[in-house]
Amino acid sequence: MANFDLIVIGSGPGGQRAALQGAKAGKKVAVIEEDAAVGGACLYVGTIPSKSFRESVYRYSLGSKGALGQETAAAKGKKEELLEALPDMQRLLRRRDRVVSSESQIIFDQLKRNNVTVFHGRAKVVSATSVEVTSRKGVEIINGSYIIVAVGSSPVCAPHLKVDGKFVHNSDTILSLKKLPDSLAVLGAGIIGCEYASMFSMAGTQVTLVDRRPEILASVDREIVNHLVERFVHLGMEMVLSAETTQLEIRQEKPKKKSAAKGKKKKPAKTKAPAGKESVRVHLADGRKIDADVILIAAGRQGNTEGLGLKEVGVELDDRGLVKVDSNFRTKIPTIFAVGDVIGSPALAATGMEQGRIATCRAFNIDDSTMPKLFPYGIYTIPEISMVGMTEEELVAKKIDFVAGRARYRELARGQIVGDRWGLLKILVDKKTLKLHGVHIMGDNAADLIHIGQAVMDFGGDVNYFIRTVFNYPTLAEAYKTAAFHAVNQIKGTTRTK
């Protein structure tokens, strides 16, 4: 029976950082990973594969008639031309395979270099300080002073919308497609649904985005969402909102009969007639029907806690299998912590990493680190979105007096160079203090650019920082200066608000 200071269940972003923090502090650490290689779902079916696929699609689009600044064949209604342009799916996935392989090796080397012991097997918590590991070698019990659960989450699917891995997929299986479908229906217009909808649409697939809610991306600033919807429509995407899916029907088209040549009697066929093309029909509650080659279900996620033994030892779970924790990521059992997607919102790889580090610090009283209240969101649609702080809608609801300073990529030299005429950077500025309440960006490199605004907000700076700062030229970062002047001029009453 092996003994450790810390046992981490799961080797995704949260688990990795928890383990490494423990090892750096001189603790004896074990990581239990069910799969044959470390990295977790984030590396193999989640964040890394999807963003690698996005990058390939994006680069393909820049070199095709679907380039950012141009109208696509879908937008013009030229279906035949569009289908001829569909790129090879396996070619688009080569980047994913290369990145996943490289990242897996990097994670393995990090754990090994820091003397973290890795067990490959299924974990089950059997007490507040013991975990049972079932592997090909058999069953063994390992003990630890503390346990951190970082097992992640999995896609949720309603019983009447069953994933079959052929016609009906979720976010874990969609990149197993052998070729790009001619048509795709995405059921769910949250972050994952919108990301994949934009990727496949940009690649040339005819996409229909369906959601039971009346709007997409409800937590995102509405002006940004409206620009994104405009972009989606420009790409030829169809959007069906306030629509509940009631049934999926696999259909087979009847093959077209070939007419016999004149003057010749057609001989009876000796072989079975070829089957027609199969597709899926989506039935909506209002009677509408949508036909597509492939369905992607993106209807939320649930914690990977089934069979983990947490309930049996007293850890509380909610109805989605998510672990309930306090502000230090500690469960009701003082020696058991949980981090990452398995504890729910915000369910970001970036926040999971920091949660893992802080949980280890809390367990061993290493320092007084706390989870920052201010952190960015990145939504990897095409174009991408990133935001930090409050939205316009939240500021209005709180009756905060502010102005919105805007900068459009098309007005920046760099925006013209990269061909992004859709991009927008918006800063929300307090009229009295000139402090920033929020930054919202849609366009090229949004997820990178957001950190400039995040840093200024975090250190208590105001809009004058951007006005007095020299930015490299030509860059997209100059948008901050443009937006700052726009905001200040509004406060002075010398410019329009839009």
DSSP string, 440-463: EEESTTHHHHHHHHHHHHHTT-BT
| Residue 85 to residue 200: CA distance in whole angstroms | 13
Per-residue pLDDT at 160 exceeds 50: yes
Q: Are residues 291 and 320 in the same domain?
A: no
At 254, the pLDDT band (50, 70, 90 cuts) reads: low
> Do residues 421 and 409 lie in contact, with contact meaning Cβ atoms separated by under 8 Å?
yes
Q: Are residues 213 and 244 in the same domain?
A: yes
Asked if the bond preceding 159 is cis, omega within 30° of 0, the reply is no
Q: Are residues 417 and 485 in the same domain?
A: yes
Q: Are residues 146 and 196 in the same domain?
A: no
With respect to residue 476, please indicate whether it lies within any of the assigned structural domains.
yes
Helix (H, G, I), strand (E, B) or coil at 254: coil
At 80, the pLDDT band (50, 70, 90 cuts) reads: very low
Q: Are residues 242 and 126 in the same domain?
A: no
With respect to residue 374, please indicate whether it lies within any of the assigned structural domains.
no
At 67, the pLDDT band (50, 70, 90 cuts) reads: very low
> Do residues 222 and 391 lie in contact, with contact meaning Cβ atoms separated by under 8 Å?
yes
The CATH number of whichever domain residue 481 belongs to comes to 3.30.390.30
The DSSP code sequence of 426-440 is EEEEETTT-BEEEEE
> Which 8-state DSSP code applies to residue 220?
S
Per-residue pLDDT at 258 exceeds 90: no
Per-residue pLDDT at 78 exceeds 90: no
Beta bridge partners of 297: 187
- Give the domain extent around 246: 168-253+274-299
With respect to residue 443, please indicate whether it lies within any of the assigned structural domains.
yes
Q: Are residues 7 and 115 in the same domain?
A: yes
Residue with tokens 């809610």: 213
Q: Are residues 217 and 307 in the same domain?
A: no
Distance of CA 342 to the CA centre of its chain: 15
Q: Are residues 282 and 205 in the same domain?
A: yes
> Do residues 309 and 32 lie in contact, with contact meaning Cβ atoms separated by under 8 Å?
no
At 62, the pLDDT band (50, 70, 90 cuts) reads: confident
Q: Are residues 403 and 435 in the same domain?
A: yes
> Which 8-state DSSP code applies to residue 70?
S
Nearest to 402 by CA among 430, 425, 370, 377: 430
The CATH number of whichever domain residue 147 belongs to comes to 3.50.50.60
Q: Provide the number of structural domains found in the chain.
A: 3
> Which 8-state DSSP code applies to residue 492?
H
pTM of the model: 0.90
Q: Are residues 215 and 325 in the same domain?
A: no
Q: Are residues 96 and 40 in the same domain?
A: yes
490 Cβ neighbours under 8 A, 6+ residues apart: 403, 405, 496, 497
**221-226: average pLDDT:** 97
C-alpha dihedral sign at 55, 56, 60, 66: negative
Q: Are residues 129 and 212 in the same domain?
A: no
> Do residues 301 and 115 lie in contact, with contact meaning Cβ atoms separated by under 8 Å?
no
